Structure 1
Amino acid sequence: MTTADAPNHTPASASGHYLEQAAWVVLAAMPLALAFAVRSSAALIGVAALLALAGAVVAGRGRALAADAWARARSLPGAFLPLFAALAAASLLWHPFPRLGLFAMGEAFAPLVAAAILGLSLGRLRRRAVFILFASLFALACVEVLVELFTGMAWRYAVGMRPALFVLNKPVICFVVLYWPLWSLSEGAPRRGLMMGALAVLMAAAVFKSVSGAAMLALICGALTFGLARLAPRFAWGLVMAGLFAALALAPVKGDLAQRAVPGWALDRLQSLHARDRVEIWQSFGEVTLLRPFTGAGFGVSPKMGDAPVALLVPGEHRTLLAVGHPHDMFLQIWAELGVLGALLAAVALAWLGKALLVLRRREELPPALAAIAAVLVIAEVGHGAWQGWWLAILGAAAIWFCKSFEAVRYDTASGSRAGKSGPGRNIDQ
């Protein structure tokens, strides 16, 4: 839903306007779609990208869009995706299972490219209208997950499925990430605190009723970071960035550090969250990074790491758990698959992210952004595989929501159309 000044001037501009509205609707439906079809987010962001791109072309913005894409690709942030794709493609030269690597590239880069297309194609966001839609669908998604959890997933069994409770981990992970751009989108809404508080309670009920320990930790860390960022924004920024860089730098030795630092009784108490298993998995994949420190074993090889030639060089006590599918640490997966080159590229991306956060023009923008990053960091440290399309689609959607919400708020502030207590935009250093 954009604020095109006159969407009905011509049939082409009207069609483009409606296609763009449809893209926003599809993007807002992501939490609810995930609640029913737990890997659907990748498809949804792809559909939204196609609608937005079609809307831009139909409205006559195709040439300008191509020029903008070329200009951004030559900038530092715009070069990250092509460089990362080039490194992943180069790793196929030493990949033990190149077809698996190609499949992983398709799954990973399709939602990332779709997010990039959305960022270029979507126009300015009409915040209040989209907020009502997004919040309503988000609430319905939480209710659907709660109904499933309380009924033992009855409707899935009724239609012939035999699901386990962990399939609902994906929607609750989506909740704890996308709640924060939704908070940003709600700025200026009537009874904002009441509405977002009620939505937070509903989300927390779904998360803590689920079996996703990663989502629970992410929700807690996100909420604490949000509160800290409102009180001390610069300190919160430093803490989050330190956490990101430490997670990346220490990933290869994370398993050994955890084995030494965490008492055995604590690992036993946390065994319901597979704490001891995770430590051993981190140690196993850490061995791979020591054996292939510069190049890694190849992009996307983790699902078959136990069958890769490098597995034969890993000490026997750590070899078995290479077959679990992924290292349960996305930073460690970068090291194990792409080596120091991948880690350096990730470090540059994190540095750019830190700079972008530091120069946010308004204090209201930083807390939800840092909260979302803290939630993502927790999930990345203990969760699933790094290149799963449904996960990268959620990250791409969160980035789109934040960027377009911030743009809309700044436009409303500059035009004087938004009533409220916030004054002119200002840097968090001020």
Structure 2
Amino acid sequence: MRISSVTMFDQSTASMNRQQSDFLKVSQQIASGRRVVNPSDDPQAASRAVGVDQAKAVTEQYADARTSARNSLAQTESILNSVSDAVTSAKTLLIQASSETLSNVDRDSIASELKGIYETMLGQANATDGNGRYLFGGYADSAPPFVKNADGNVEYKGDNNAREQRVDASRLMPVTENGESIFKSVPSSAGYVAESVKTDNNGDSIAGPGGRNNGNVTFGGPQVSDVNNDGYGDSYRVVFSDNTTDPNVEFNYRVERFDTANDEWDTATPVSDGNYTGEGQSVSFGGLNITLNGEPEADDEILVAQAGSDQREPNLFRTMEEAIRVLENPVETDADKADLRNTLNTSMRDLDNALDNVLTVRASAGARLNELDVIDAVGSNRSLNYEQTLSDLVDLDYNEAISEYSLRQVGLQASQKAFVDVKGMSLFDYL
């Protein structure tokens, strides 16, 4: 078969170009450190690598989200620590103020300290994060959640939600707390609290001086005597009235239960009633006992309800406001003394419940911080697995590549030498 010089030239050129292409491919692999430089090098591995790389990017995005969540939770936990310290300081001051040896000036001084703690709590309740959003307003985080109304009382303007952030594919985590859960809540284990206050027929406390008693009855308790009593868990009020049956007793009393079905006090069928004699008289109802002393006036009331119920809604700022009020007022009459004692006793119970609640919320924030650490560890392991998978798919085996590089180099040199020899051959050399 006759082979033309052109055919030999073309085949030598193609062989040299092919060897040059293979040599360049190995050179690119060594320079980049990757076996798959172009998708055409290994289409299946390149396709899998794209999916793994996307999953790795999502994992890194969740890691950034966890960093943001950790910052919010750490700030929340720090503020809750300050609030718990403030509540403890307020309770200490109220214990000090309960001493009967203090003068009006002494109590006024304590009230000034309480005002400072009160303003500190208000400042902490309106704390912001690094982006200017209010931490405890829920999703209504563009304005202060706690503001003072025209009467000087603090009101909550946020919502009852907690901002959430997705910190992993299967975990949507609350990264803040709303103000209600901190400053207007009590633990589920909170018991009964008594308060010397008048309520309307709907169970709402009457605001202002008209809602306070005029007599000097003081209370002790309430104490739980029977949690299995059918009436345990309901709200009650002890109402005093002029006695018209026994000429030797000036006042009598009746205990009314709040009818939740009709949303009003059941004044028609009292739980109990009788003559009030004072001097440590014990009154029992609904599995509870309360001890009463002093002389009431007609229509005076003592509310006995579970903390957190609709008739005894918790409010840390209201507790502080009532304590400051009673300490600022001069104690001149027996009624003033009774108001002071009753309000301080109620306030201390409320502060105990508030402290328990703040510590519970703080523990919840701490638990979520611990959970973030666990999720971080899992995420780090997942990222390492993705890195290893990517390496197995596209990274270069340098030992194999260098051997291939040397082989391709020899092949290229051989093809170049062959091309030179073929190019120099001619039939005219034999003529």
TM-score by length of 1: 0.25
Give the structure with the larger strand fraction: 2
Give the structure with the larger helix fraction: 1
TM-score by length of 2: 0.24
Larger radius of gyration between Structure 1 and Structure 2 = 2
